[in-house]
Each structure stands twice: as structure tokens, then as C-alpha cells.
Structure 1
Amino acid sequence: MQRRAQRDQRNVGTAPTPSSGKAKRLTRVLVCAAAVPVMLVAAGCSSDSGSGDGKDKAADKTAASKSAKPSPTVRAAAYGKLPEPCSVLSEKTLDDLVPKADSGKEGTSNDTATRAGCSWDSLDDNGVKGSQFRWLSVSMLRFESDVTRGEGDKLARDYYTKQLQDAQSAQGAKSVKTTPVSGTGDEASMVRYDLKKKEGTFKQQTVVARVENVVVTVDYNGAGLAGDKTPDADDLAKDAQKAAKEAVAAVTKANGTGKSGTSPSPSGSAAGSDSKTPSKSSSKSAAKSSSKSSSKTSKSS
């Protein structure tokens, strides 16, 4: 009985209590539970980092492709300025077309390098025999090349067409005729018509010419007033063409090209009638030097 009691005491002393076992299991559960959020956070960070890098790389590629595309360009306009408008015609021409005119009246413009013009009027009073009236106007419009609108010469060509249409549809115009004009810029035409007013019948001549990216418009009309005879329309037409040709030549000269009205070559020199033909002596010397170099080449070979 005594031994059994002692065994029972030993067993009682060594057996774990229910509370201590539960505490150990709870500790292990808490440790594991604390480790799980850390792993989730680490996994979440690594996942976000990977997806962000992909988006950034895609954005970089898109930006690089956009920057690699060339920006749109347009061919530069040939002419960059206009001449002094009241000096485009010679004194002799002015004396012939508007003999009684004072100095020309320059038109108002915010940018004379783009738009310019000048006009003259003349009244040759013959007393009781009446008088002869003349009016002359030269206007110039230069177009710059623009990426959105196009090349300067194309814009000038469009305006050239519009100017002709406006002249042809002038209010009150009678017997309208349009004829081409040669030897004046890249293209030119003249619109002729009669315009009756209370002062008399006016003979109108409008010459529209285009040279590269500049459009020149010459308006010239005449009338016999107070009983004087009406001027001859053909004579006025010849004078208007003469004025237009001089104005076009002034435009080309102001931009460093010759009087022929031709476009400048890529090297900057004017092409056309102003180019000099090599002399016979220079041609002979060039031929001699060429033959010498050929003989030297054959000997060396």
C-alpha cells in the first residue's frame, strides 16, 4: 500500500498539467500566425513591384516610339522679302502710264515683307476739250511655307487663281475677257472689261502674275472725262503688261535673282537668260587640260 501510494505520488508529480500543455500549443499557434502576415506582405510587395516595372517599361517604349517619329517638314519658300512697293516701276514707265501723277501712295501694311502695294493717279486736264484720267496700282503678296497649310508657292498659286476669279466677277463689269500673258513670272493672265460710271466709261486692265511664292497684281484703268475720247483698250493692255513685267522683275531682283523672273537654283545662283556663256578661249583651254590629263592617265596605266 505504501509503494502504491509512492507511485501515485510520483505519477502525480511528473504528469503535465492541462494548463501548461494548452499554453505551449497557444504559443506555437501565435508564432505561426505572426509569421503568415509577414510572408503575405513580402509576397504582395514583390507582386506589385513586378507589375509596376512592366507598366513603366511599356510607357518608356511608347514614348521612345513617339520621339523616334520624324516631325513633319515642308519645303522652304523661295522668296523671303518684297521690294519697296513705290519703287517697283521705273520713272519712264510711270511717265508713260500716269504722266500727271505725283509720288505714289503706299498702302498700309502691318508687315511690308509679306504684303505691300502702291498706287498712282493722273488727270491730264485739257480744259474745254475734256481730260484724260489714269489710275495705276501695284500690289504684292508673299506666302511663307507652313507645315499645316503647305508650301509657299502652292499657297501663292491658290491665291493667284482667286485673284483672277475676283477680277472676272467684278461688279458692273461688261465685256469681260481673260487672256494669258507670257514672259511674266511663272504664270500670268490679264482680265479686261469695261466699267461704266457717271463720269464716263472706264477701260479696266488687271494683270495677275505669280513668281514662286509671290503674287503681283497690277490694276490699270483709264477714261476720257468731260467729253474727251475714251482711251484705246489695247494700248492700256500693253501698258499694264509692261508694268506687271517690271514689278515681277523687281521682286526677283530684291531676292537676289536676275531680272528674267526665273527661280533661283539650289546653289543660289539664278538660272535663265542672265547666265553667261563660256567664251571660245576658255572652252579651248578646258579641252587642252582635259587631253593632257587623259594622256597622263594612259601613261601611268
Structure 2
Amino acid sequence: MTTERTAAVPSLPLTLTARLLPVVVLAIAGWAMSTSGDPGSADAQAAEPPGPRPETAARRYAEPPDACAALASPVVKALVPGAAPAGKKLDTTDPTRRAGCSWHALDGYDYRWLDVTFETLDEPAAVRSYTGKKKPTPAPGLGDEASVGTDLTQDDGQGTRESVVVVRKANALITITYNGSDFASREAPSEKTIREGALKAAREAVLSLADAES
């Protein structure tokens, strides 16, 4: 993004400005996704299924993979036009348990944000404890269980649409956040565009867990 182009772009809404500070947001209590359901709490344990399914019981991930290498360059370019494929590593309180990476760019007046985070837990946790989205729905075919939620927000007349996909595979949790805005039309991208983009990133991220298996 060039300086001349930036000068012509309307100011980012406060909700998107906040997204540009991932370290501050994620540093509070490890990650925001963990605050909605601590796997060690009584409430979270009550929400968990009786135990991992037989086909996943023997599989375990000791550490999260390199989050910035989790998505292939063509996927990043397709979902976040103009972003550097290398991404920006997110600081975490415990790199041996959590890893994250983000990509964001403004292509003309079209803004996109994408991040992927991994967390390895002592025991498998229920995905529903980590979603935090309004009315998430199951996302079949991803890991051992997964959900996806999509929301539309309006900030000073600017629409933003965001999808969050949460996947559990054995004791690993993957969270994909993908959102976008069009600053020319002040409309949000279609639900199909954002939802399918988030699911595409989630499928890639699940494949990257193979290198982290113990």
C-alpha cells in the first residue's frame, strides 16, 4: 500500500483499528479465545464430552506448529490481496503452547484481515467452549469437531463482516478469524465470501498440524 493511496482512504472504524493491535488483544489472559472457556475450570469440564473418541485418543500434539507457515502463499494471496505471505507473528504468553500469525492489507478500498492461532491443551476441550460467536454452526470435515460463526457489524455506517472458525483435533485447538470491509461502498463483503474464505484457511491450518504431532 503506497502513501498516496493511504491518504485517499477513509479513516478505519474503531473496530478495525483495534484489530491492528493483535498483541494487546491476545496478550490478555493468554488469548481472547481462552477466556470464554478455561479447559481447567469446572464449567468447561462440565461442557466437555465424556472423552476423546477412540480414533483420536492416541494422537497428541506436543507443541503448536509455526503459525506463519501454516497457510500456503497462494491461500494468503487469495484471501488477503496485497499482504506479505510471510505474515506477522503474534506474541503469546507461552510459545510452547500457543502460536499465532496475522495478515492484513488494504487493496484499493478493499480491506481484509486474517489470523490463525494454535493452542495445545493438556486434554481435548469442547469446541463450543471456545467459539464466542453468535449462533455458531457445525463445520463438518474439519478435525475431530469444528464450528463456524459469521457476524455483520456496522460502525459509523461502515459494514464489516467476520467469520470465526474453531477446530479441535485431538488436544489442539485452531482458531481462524477472517474479516473484511469495502471502504468505497461502505458495505461488507458477502457472507459467502467471508465464510468460505475462513473455512479455506481452516482446512490449510489443520493440515499443518502433522508436523507438530508427538
Query: Given the superposition, is the C-alpha separation of residues 237 and 226 from structure 1 closer, same or farther in structure 2, using an over 3 Å criterion?
Result: same
1:60-86 Cα offsets, whole Å, 9 max, x none, are xxxxxxxxxxxxxxx887111211010
Q: Distance in 1 between matches of 2:92 and 2:193?
A: 32
Does the aligned pair in 1 maintain the 2:158–2:186 contact within 8 Å?
A: no
Aligned to 1:18: none
Of residues 96, 101, 117, the one that matches 1:113 is 96
Does the aligned pair in 2 maintain the 1:178–1:192 contact within 8 Å?
A: yes
**Higher percent of residues as strand:** 2
Q: Distance in 2 between matches of 1:249 and 1:113?
A: 19
Deviation at 1:162, TM superposition (A): 2.0
* 1:94 and 2:52 are equivalent in the alignment: no
Aligned to 2:191: 233
| Structure with the larger RCO, 1 or 2 (CA within 8 Å, 6+ apart) | 2
Taking only aligned residues, the RMSD between alpha carbons, in angstroms, comes to 1.9
1:172-229 Cα offsets, whole Å, 9 max, x none, are xxxxx42211111000010111011126111110101100001100000111113365
Q: Counterparts in 2 of 1:132-281, with a 5 A limit?
A: 132-144=110-122, 152-153=123-124, 156-157=125-126, 160-164=127-131, 166-168=132-134, 177-198=135-156, 200-227=158-185, 229-255=187-213
1:248-283 Cα offsets, whole Å, 9 max, x none, are 111134327xxxxxxxxxxxxxxxxxxxxxxxxxxx
Structure 1 residue matching 2:133: 3-state secondary structure: helix
**Higher percent of residues as helix:** 1
Letter in 1 for 2:193: D
Which consecutive unaligned segments of at least 5 residues does structure 2 have? 1-56
Q: Distance in 2 between matches of 1:89 and 1:76?
A: 26
Structure 2 residue matching 1:167: 3-state secondary structure: coil
Q: In the comparison of the two structures, how many residue pairs are matched?
A: 157
Shifted more, 245-254 versus 184-193: the winner is 245-254
Does the aligned pair in 2 maintain the 1:199–1:225 contact within 8 Å?
A: no
Q: Distance in 1 between matches of 2:115 and 2:60?
A: 25
TM-score by length of 2: 0.68
TM-score by length of 1: 0.49
Q: Distance in 2 between matches of 1:119 and 1:106?
A: 7
Deviation at 1:231, TM superposition (A): 1.5
Letter in 2 for 1:186: D
Q: Counterparts in 2 of 1:1-12, with a 5 A limit?
A: none
Aligned to 2:67: 85
Letter in 2 for 1:85: A
Q: Distance in 1 between matches of 2:130 and 2:156?
A: 27
Does the aligned pair in 1 maintain the 2:160–2:187 contact within 8 Å?
A: no
Identity of aligned residues (%): 33
Deviation at 1:111, TM superposition (A): 2.7
Q: Tell which structure's C-alpha radius of gyration is larger.
A: 1
Which consecutive unaligned segments of at least 5 residues does structure 1 have? 1-74, 126-130, 145-151, 169-176, 257-301
